[in-house]
């Protein structure tokens, strides 16, 4: 029995089969290279779905995390710790947002944003102004309420009753959005690039108009940057490139560099919405996770972010010339690859594993989310494997 077979058989027996796993068991890694249980090497173009911002086992990140780990691992939110405030300060100074609530994952951050939006409206206008407009084909998480917020029918099954109060509008369809916003709406919540939905950037003209409408009607603009945030698109947050000022921004995936961490960022209007007792989570602002997050944000300076852009363009240019590829979409190191009809994205991912590159899918596209620290040598090696995988399909 190979090491892989052993790991897999145990998993098959004892772990809930809620994921369709690929036949790989990873054991160690360095930046964008990793190794499986039987010693095969892969270039990682997934970064744990946009989580390992600084790649596997970055020295600075390990030093920051282990330094905190050997002081305190957790204290609860009944007391102060330094990493929490330091990371919140960085997030606010770098974005112009005013306050931060720390959570543990994307769905949870979005839950916090939804609660805050409803409370903001309740405080000002009383009950009944609680609807939230989201986009068709969006993805906001897997809790009952964030599933309800997700604008895809496939997610609205089995788990009835879903949370009331969400209305959906096509990305780019401003007329419908305006109609939906006539009454009873407290917030519009959108991704700027629909990630799980197929790496689809939302039209900047539409986003601008939504932002103006929201401002005019005191409807909160909530931007879900769980996937696009923390340098992924070549700016600290993607909203900067859209030239808008959101009222609430959520971040997760890459924010902790590999530890479970998420954040809800509040702007001028919303910074005071939550008072003591209004919202909480036991693990929120865990000092080890925040120490990791602090190292991540420190590294994402202007030069680093320019490199993210340059590397993204370099990859897209090369990928466009590959077999079966009809185009690319995305920003920075969030890249979707459109394929000719008949070529399935999941087939490409499986062939990629055989060739030594780890890839993601997003709907009918192949999706790349390499660590932001991926080197050009790693990129070239990964792209060579991707090209061979495409040739096989
Ligand atoms: C991944 C993702 C989520 C959910 O995050 P979890 O950490 O899995 O709960 C929410 N919104 C967007 C845009 C995402 O990409």
> With the CA atoms of 146, 151, 152 and 158 taken in that order, what torsion angle do they form, in degrees rounded to the nearest 10?
40
Each residue's pLDDT expressed in tens, for the chain with a length of 393 residues: 899 999 999 999 999 999 999 999 999 999 999 999 999 999 999 999 999 999 999 999 999 999 999 999 999 999 999 999 999 999 999 999 999 999 999 999 999 999 999 999 999 999 999 999 999 999 999 999 999 999 999 999 999 999 999 999 999 999 999 999 999 999 999 999 999 999 999 999 999 999 999 999 999 999 999 999 999 999 999 999 999 999 999 999 999 999 999 999 999 999 999 999 999 999 999 999 999 999 999 999 999 999 999 999 999 999 999 999 999 999 999 999 999 999 999 999 999 999 999 999 999 999 999 999 999 999 999 999 999 999 999
Could you give the count of Cα atoms lying within 13 Å of 250 in the half-sphere of its Cβ? 31
Topology alike, domains 3-57+302-392 and 72-299: no
Class of domain 72-299: alpha beta
Q: Is the CB of 252 under 6 A from ligand 1?
A: yes
Question: How many Å lie between the centroid of ligand 1 and the Cα of residue 141?
Answer: 5
> What spacing in Å lies between the alpha carbon of 39 and ligand 1's midpoint?
31
Q: Is the pTM of this model over 0.85?
A: yes
For 149-214, give the secondary structure using H, E and C.
HCECHHHCCCCCCCCCCEEEECCCCHHHHHHHCCCCEEEEEECCEECCCCCEECCHHHHHHHHHHH
Closest ligand 1 atom number to CA of residue 191: 13
- The CB of 229 under 6 Å from ligand 1? The reply is no
Tokens of 286: 């865990």
Using the 8-state DSSP alphabet, how is residue 136 labeled? B
What's the CATH fold of domain 3-57+302-392?
Answer: 3.90.1150
Cα separation of 77 and 75, whole Å?
7
Q: For ligand 1, say whether the CB of 155 is within 6 Å of any of its atoms.
A: no
Name which residue sits closest to atom 15 of ligand 1, judged by CA: 227
Predicted confidence (pLDDT) per residue in 71-84, tens digit: 999 999 999 999 99
Contact (Cβ atoms closer than 8 angstroms) between residue 296 and residue 63: no
Asked whether 27 and 41 are in contact (CB, 8 A), the reply is: no
Q: How far is the CA of 252 from the centre of ligand 1 (A)?
A: 7
Query: In the chain, which ranges are continuous DSSP H helix?
Result: 3-14, 47-50, 59-69, 82-95, 106-125, 144-149, 174-180, 204-217, 239-242, 287-299, 302-320, 345-355, 376-392
Query: Are 361 and 334 spatial neighbours (Cβ–Cβ below 8 Å)?
Result: no
Q: How far apart are CA 251 and CA 192, in angstroms?
A: 13
Compute, in angstroms, the gap from residue 321 CA to the centroid of ligand 1.
31
Return phi, psi of residue 194, to 5°. Answer: -70, 110
- Give per-residue pLDDT as tens, 122-144: 999 999 999 999 999 999 999 99
**Distance from C-alpha of 282 to C-alpha of 43, rounded to nearest angstrom:** 36
Separation CA 144–CA 137 (nearest Å): 17
Nearest residue (by CA) to ligand 1, atom 11, is 140
Instruction: Assess whether the C-beta atom of 102 lies below 6 angstroms from ligand 1.
Output: no
Q: Are the C-beta atoms of 255 and 262 separated by less than 8 Å?
A: yes
Name all contacts of 125-132 with Cβ < 8 Å and 24+ positions apart: 128/184, 129/184, 129/185, 129/186, 130/165, 130/184, 130/186, 131/165, 131/166, 131/167, 131/180, 131/184, 131/185, 131/186, 132/165, 132/166, 132/167, 132/185, 132/186, 132/187, 132/188, 132/189, 132/222
φ, ψ for residue 328 (rounded to 5)? -130, 160
Does residue 255 have its Cβ closer than 6 Å to ligand 1? no
Burial call 231-258: b when 16+ CB within 10 Å, e when fewer: bbbbbbbbbbbbebbbbbbbbbbbbbbb
Would the CB of 103 count as within 6 Å of ligand 1? no
CA 283 to chain centre: 19
Distance CA 182, CA 376 (A): 50
φ and ψ at 174, to 5 degrees?
-65, -35
Cis peptide, bond prior to residue 351, ω within 30 of zero: no
**Both structure tokens of 364:** 């009918």
Q: Where are the domains of the chain?
A: 3-57+302-392, 72-299
């Amino acid at each position: 029995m190979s090491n892989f077979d052993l790991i897999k058989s145990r998993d098959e027996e004892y772990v809930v089969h809620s994921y369709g796993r690929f036949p790989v068991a990873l054991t160690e890694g360095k930046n964008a290279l990793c190794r499986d249980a039987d010693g095969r090497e892969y270039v990682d173009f997934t970064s744990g779905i946009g989580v390992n911002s600084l790649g596997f086992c970055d020295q600075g990140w390990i030093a920051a995390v282990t330094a905190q780990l050997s002081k305190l691992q957790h204290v609860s939110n009944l007391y102060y710790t330094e990493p929490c405030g330091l990371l919140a300060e960085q997030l606010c100074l770098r974005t112009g947002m005013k306050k931060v609530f720390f959570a543990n994952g994307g769905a949870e951050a979005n839950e916090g944003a939804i609660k805050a939006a409803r409370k903001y409206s309740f405080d000002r206008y009383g009950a009944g102004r609680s609807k939230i407009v989201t986009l068709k084909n969006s993805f906001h998480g897997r809790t009952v309420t964030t599933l309800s917020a997700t604008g895809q029918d496939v997610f609205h099954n089995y788990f009835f009753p879903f949370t009331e109060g969400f209305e959906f509008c096509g990305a780019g369809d401003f007329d419908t959005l305006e109609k939906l916003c006539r009454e009873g709406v407290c917030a519009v919540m959108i991704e700027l690039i629909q990630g799980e939905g197929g790496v689809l950037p939302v039209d900047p003209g539409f986003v601008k108009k939504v932002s103006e409408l929201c401002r005019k009607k005191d409807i909160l603009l909530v931007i879900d940057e769980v996937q696009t945030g923390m340098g992924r698109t070549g700016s600290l947050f993607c909203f900067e490139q859209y030239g808008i000022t959101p009222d609430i921004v959520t971040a997760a995936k890459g924010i902790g560099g590999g530890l479970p961490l998420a954040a809800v960022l509040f702007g001028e209007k919303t910074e005071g919405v939550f008072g003591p007792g209004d919202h909480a989570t036991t693990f929120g602002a865990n000092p080890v996770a925040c120490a990791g997050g602090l190292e991540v944000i420190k590294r994402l300076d202007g030069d680093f972010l320019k490199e993210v852009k340059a590397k993204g363009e370099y990859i897209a240019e090369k990928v466009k010339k590959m077999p079966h590829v009809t185009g690319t979409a995305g920003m920075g190191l969030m890249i979707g690859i459109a394929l000719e009809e008949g070529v399935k994205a999941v087939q490409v991912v499986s062939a990629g594993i055989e060739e030594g590159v780890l890839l993601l899918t997003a709907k009918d596209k192949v999706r790349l989310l390499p660590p932001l620290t991926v080197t050009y040598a790693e990129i070239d090696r990964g792209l060579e494997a991707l090209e061979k995988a495409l040739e096989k399909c």
